């Protein structure tokens, strides 16, 4: 594995949930434009332990919500209200500043157990779009391109890959691909994806040379040239990546920017209550 880097999830508490953080980490801050990847669950939730993330801000990025199980209701300061279910994509572009909440939908708050499993992802914006107007996109499960190729089930969630393109409007060359194999198979991704590549093992195992990569781990190419991976039966992968930006990106709490000064301004604006609000919501998460 000389030309690859292996990453283990690091546990992080977000209230009622423990999530596994995959990106960023010390040796690698981004993969293509992807700046932040959190793995939620799988976990069963019920009365008193619902998914409730109060109003909080973002700048300079797009948030991508992709669920494997469960539902999340998204509300933001543009007025968007959308329930994101398993297989759907919620994509909020913060630009110059947005606030949002993420909660278990009201109709599911009846005490019955709910399985939650998915990924919360941040995609940095190109420098010329960092101060763009906020907007929200939703792509339903049945609108995402799906392929059956060589025994693999392939969904191109965002960007371009494997000869198809997602209808999601992204802001730079990137890809996010969901791949499943029921049987032992070799996946060849040579020339199917462009740019830096990260491979997250959602379930099952991947063999790379003499190494086995388990669920909850991420494999990153150091050379943009991973060509083949051996998947054991019943393995599911998420592939992320794309073309990196020429400028470095900095992170401060929920903010991403090519300017450290802009991050400090966002911090002060949140403290001064200058961000727009989610309509009808007065909750507030202080800067941490």
Per-residue pLDDT, 41: 81
Per-residue pLDDT, 254: 96
Per-residue pLDDT, 263: 98
CA distance linking residue 41 with residue 37, whole number of Å = 13
Sequence-distant (≥ 6) Cβ neighbours of residue 143 within 8 angstroms: 167
Where the chain has pLDDT below 70, the residues are 1-22, 24-27, 222-226
Mind listing the domains of the chain with CATH numbers?
Answer: 4-242 (2.60.120.10)
Per-residue pLDDT, 218: 84
CA distance linking residue 236 with residue 262, whole number of Å = 38
Determine contact, residues 239/176, Cβ cutoff 8 Å: yes
Determine contact, residues 215/203, Cβ cutoff 8 Å: yes
User: pLDDT over 70 for what percent of the chain?
Assistant: 89
Per-residue pLDDT, 48: 76
CA distance linking residue 248 with residue 192, whole number of Å = 26
Q: Tell how far CA 149 is from the center of its chain.
A: 25
């Amino acid at each position: 594995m000389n030309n690859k880097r292996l990453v283990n999830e690091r546990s992080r508490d977000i209230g009622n949930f423990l999530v596994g953080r995959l990106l960023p980490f010390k040796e690698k801050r981004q993969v293509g434009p992807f700046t932040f990847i959190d793995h939620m669950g799988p976990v069963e939730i019920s009365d008193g332990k619902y998914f409730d993330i109060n109003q909080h801000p973002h700048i300079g990025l797009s948030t991508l919500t992709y669920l494997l199980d469960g539902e999340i209701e998204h509300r933001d300061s543009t007025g968007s209200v959308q329930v994101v279910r398993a297989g759907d994509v919620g994509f909020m572009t913060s630009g110059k500043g947005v606030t949002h909440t993420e909660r278990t939908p009201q109709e599911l708050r009846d005490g019955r157990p709910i399985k939650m499993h998915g990924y919360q992802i941040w995609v940095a914006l190109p420098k010329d779009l960092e101060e763009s107007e906020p907007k929200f996109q939703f792509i339903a499960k049945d609108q995402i391109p799906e392929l059956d190729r060589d025994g693999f089930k392939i969904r191109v969630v965002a960007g371009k890959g494997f000869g198809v393109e997602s209808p999601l409007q992204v802001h730079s060359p990137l890809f996010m691909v969901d791949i499943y194999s029921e049987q032992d198979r070799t996946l060849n991704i040579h020339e199917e994806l462009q740019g830096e590549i990260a491979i997250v093992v959602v379930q099952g195992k991947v063999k790379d040379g003499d190494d086995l990569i388990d669920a909850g781990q991420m494999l990153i190419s150091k050379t943009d040239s991973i060509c083949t991976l051996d998947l054991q039966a019943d393995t599911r992968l998420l592939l992320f990546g794309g073309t990196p930006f020429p400028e470095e990106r900095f992170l401060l709490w929920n903010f991403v920017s090519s300017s450290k000064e802009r991050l400090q301004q966002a911090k002060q604006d949140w403290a001064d209550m200058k961000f727009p609000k989610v309509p009808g919501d007065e909750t507030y998460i202080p800067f941490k």
